[in-house]
Amino acid sequence: MEIQIREARETDCDAMMELVKELALYEKAPEQVTVNFDHFVQSGFGANPVWWAFVAEADGKVIAMALYYIRYSTWKGQRMYLEDILVTESMRGKGIGGMLMEALIKEGKAKQFTGMMWQVLDWNEPAIHFYKKYNARFDGEWLNAGIEF
């Protein structure tokens, strides 16, 4: 099977949202996905995009994705914030996550971002192991805080 990594297109949005929902179901939190689909599409492909993504295609089907937005750090400038990197369950263990990471890093360097950051659950050992291959540093000293509007 040939895996192709490419930039996401507007027509991928359906498949991408399916991947997001698959993960939410796996995490037993499907009701937490309250994003409006049209707003998702507009946010990626409208006049002022706020997210960018790569997808992995196998036999013409989107089976993985990596989505990022631009973080602005007042210390380091523009950085990539990797929001999601998802591989559909049946396609794991084939190196697709790594292919997506390589595409992200190549893009980040080309766009002159100063680095990439993301978050990982502190008990998610397989993910932490995966990220260590990229010499990621980890910092557990911060709390996420948030309010809903």
Active site residues: 131
**Which whole-number Å values give the CA distances from 76 to 30, 112, 116, in the listed order?**
35, 12, 11
User: x/- string (CB under 8 A) for its own copies, residues 70-99?
Assistant: xxxxxxxxx--x-xx---------------
User: What's the rounded Cα separation, in Å, for the pair 81 and 58?
Assistant: 26
We find the least distance from the C-beta atom of residue 98 to its own copies, in angstroms, to be 14
108 binds its own copies (CB under 8 A): yes
Contact of 63 with 56, CB cutoff 8 Å:
yes
- The least distance separating its own copies from the CB of residue 9, rounded to whole angstroms, comes to 17
When asked if residue 45 is in the footprint of its own copies (CB under 8 A), the reply is no
Q: With respect to its own copies, which residue has the nearer C-beta, 1 or 72?
A: 72
33 belongs to the binding site for its own copies (CB under 8 A): yes
